[in-house]
Amino acid sequence: MKTALDKIIDYKYDEVAVSKKRQSFETLHERAISTPAPRSFYRALSTTAEAGKNALICEVKRKSPSAGDILAGADPIEIAREYERSGASCLSILTDFPSFGGTLRDLEGVKANVSIPILRKDFMVDPYQIVEARAHGADCILLILSALEDGLASELQSCAQSYDLDVLTEVHDEIELERALKLNAKLIGVNNRNLKEMKTDLAVSERLAAAHPDLTLVSESGIKAPSDILRLRKFGFSRFLIGESLMKETNRESAVQSLVNSIDD
């Protein structure tokens, strides 16, 4: 039986095929190289973490396969501005529509209204999407190793680098982490949610960080409160990607500020 991730990857290839018919790679490339230089996603996270605070990648998403509707009709620009005002280091903007309710228009709109770097959060399976990300204002792209063979992951990483985009390489277990290291991934995220089973456990981050205390990792998914931040900081984490819990907050700015400033004594 196909998992939720399998189904997403299947339709992602179909989406790319349609996009290529709508706009050629050559036209997209010209648009991409004419955009302003990307903002450094990696540096923004490092600057905050090195200052002793928590570097947050705050996410805009309207729904997800695991949670269903999170905030239907959400205005990504308004939410992105709230995130930036309250101390987020970077943003993550979902551009997958069928499963997450996001679009490339969301990405473009947010880029024009904030000054911090932006991750295009999507399921990358073709270099076309990398060029598309740059053309629409992304500063960083996501590579999900659960969905990629090593050869394709390497190709996508090289393509991103050629367009001066940072790469967040996402892993979920020890095997994927070793694969990321062989790719010489500069920024590695540990997804606490198993995308095949849609189960979330912060112990995933703890386990991988404990096995590799020399690595600087980003903890993703399942982080809801300052207590979660403090728990993960004990394992060396100072960089976090947080989405669903913040989207549900009624006082989003206060919630972000409390997470940014949750520092262990």
Which residues is 168 bridged to in the sheet? Answer: 142, 187
Which residue, 87, 86, 59, is CA-closest to 74?
59
Active site residue 59: yes
Distance between CA 225 and CA 79 in Å, rounded? 19
Determine which one of 54, 99, 221, 262 is catalytic. Answer: 221
> CB-based contacts of 4: which residues, under 8 Å, 6+ apart?
65, 66, 99, 195, 196, 198
Determine which one of 86, 92, 99, 191 is catalytic. Answer: 191
Active site residue 221: yes
Q: Are 26 and 135 in contact (CB under 8 A)?
A: no
Active site residue 82: no
Determine which one of 82, 84, 170, 206 is catalytic. Answer: 170
Distance between CA 181 and CA 169 in Å, rounded? 10
Active site residue 108: no
- Dihedral of alpha carbons 150, 148, 158, 90, sign: negative
Determine which one of 121, 192, 206, 244 is catalytic. Answer: 121
Three-state secondary-structure class, residue 99? coil
Active site residue 234: no
Determine which one of 12, 54, 61, 64 is catalytic. Answer: 61
Determine which one of 12, 54, 59, 192 is catalytic. Answer: 59
Three-state secondary-structure class, residue 48? helix
Determine which one of 12, 220, 244, 262 is catalytic. Answer: 220
Active site residue 121: yes
Active site residue 220: yes
> CB-based contacts of 120: which residues, under 8 Å, 6+ apart?
93, 95, 107, 133, 136, 138, 140, 141, 142
* Residues acting as catalytic residues: 59, 61, 121, 170, 191, 220-221
